[in-house]
Structures are given as structure tokens and as C-alpha cells.
């Protein structure tokens, strides 16, 4: 029995970091695109809670990590997105039109 528990403990310990890195739907926040500025790589989003950043719902401007992300969206689109705080700058790292 100890051997089984030990094996399960090791397997769980090895899988938790992988799950944390993988991200997933829980990392995605809901939002609505208010404005897109492709030249400046900026997007204004009215968003719900962003749990990963401990941020309440609000409207704010984010910088896109990659300008190409903004080719997927336009003002008025309902979106799911991921955001990160990189050195005090809020960055959209992924964005997709919500289904």
C-alpha cells in the first residue's frame, strides 16, 4: 500500500506543474472589444474579472503581445482572452472571438 501511495504522490507532483503551465479555459477572461489600434498594437477591452491578475471588471487598454493577434478582432466582438502583467505592463497574450 505504501508503494502505491508513493507512486501516486510522485505522479501527482510531476503533473501539477505541467497543468499549471498548460493554462486553459480557466485562464481566459470574457470581454468585448471597444477599439482596436493595430498601428500601436493596442486594444481597448470592456472585460469581466481577470482571475489570473486578480482584476475586477472594467474597461481598459491593453497592449497586444503580437500585433497579429489584433487581426482576429474588431470593435463590438465578444472575445475570450488571456492577459499577463509583464513588468507592470498589461499585455494580451491570446485573444479569440467567443463562440
User: Can you give the pLDDT at residue 78?
Assistant: 98
Q: Phi, psi at residue 89, to the nearest 5°?
A: -105, 130
User: Can you give the pLDDT at residue 92?
Assistant: 97
> Which strand (E) or helix (H) includes residue 13?
helix 2-22
Tell me the pairing of strands 78-86 and 58-64. Answer: unpaired
User: Can you give the pLDDT at residue 99?
Assistant: 81
Enumerate domains of the chain plus CATH numbers. 25-97 (2.40.50.320)
User: Can you give the pLDDT at residue 26?
Assistant: 66
pLDDT per residue of the chain (99 residues) written in tens, 0 to 9: 555 544 444 544 444 444 444 445 668 999 999 999 999 999 999 999 999 999 999 999 999 999 999 999 999 999 999 999 999 999 999 999 988
User: Can you give the pLDDT at residue 34?
Assistant: 98
Q: Phi, psi at residue 38, to the nearest 5°?
A: -65, -35
Spatial separation of the C-alpha atoms in residues 31 and 45, rounded to whole Å: 6
Amino acid at each position: 500500500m505504501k508503494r502505491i501511495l508513493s507512486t501516486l504522490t510522485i505522479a501527482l507532483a510531476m503533473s501539477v506543474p505541467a497543468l499549471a503551465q498548460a493554462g486553459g479555459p480557466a485562464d481566459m477572461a470574457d470581454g468585448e472589444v471597444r477599439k482596436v489600434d493595430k498601428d500601436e498594437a493596442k486594444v481597448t477591452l470592456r472585460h469581466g474579472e481577470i482571475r489570473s491578475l486578480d482584476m475586477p471588471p472594467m474597461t481598459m487598454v491593453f497592449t497586444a503581445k503580437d500585433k497579429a493577434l489584433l487581426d482576429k478582432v474588431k470593435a463590438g466582438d465578444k472575445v475570450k482572452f488571456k492577459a499577463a502583467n509583464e513588468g507592470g505592463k498589461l499585455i494580451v497574450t491570446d485573444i479569440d472571438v467567443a463562440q
